[in-house]
Amino acid sequence: MKNNRILSAIGLAARAGKIVSGEFSTEKSVKSGKAYMVFVAEDASENTKKKFRDMCSFYQVPVYFLAEKERLGRSIGKEFRASLAVEDENFAKAILKALQEVNGTT
Q: What is the pLDDT along the chain (106 residues), one digit of tens a residue?
A: 678 999 999 999 999 999 999 999 999 999 999 999 999 999 999 999 999 999 999 999 999 999 999 999 999 999 999 999 999 999 999 999 999 988 887 5
Domain count, the chain: 1
> Can you tell me the distance from the alpha carbon of 90 to that of 33, in angstroms, rounded to the nearest whole number?
16
Predicted TM-score (pTM) above 0.75: yes
> Can you tell me the distance from the alpha carbon of 15 to that of 19, in angstroms, rounded to the nearest whole number?
8
Which residues constitute the domain of residue 69?
A: 4-103
- Dihedral pair phi/psi, residue 50, rounded to 5°: -65, -45
CATH number, residue 35: 3.30.1330.30
Amino acid at 66: L
DSSP 8-state symbol, 13: H
What is the three-class DSSP state of 20? Answer: strand
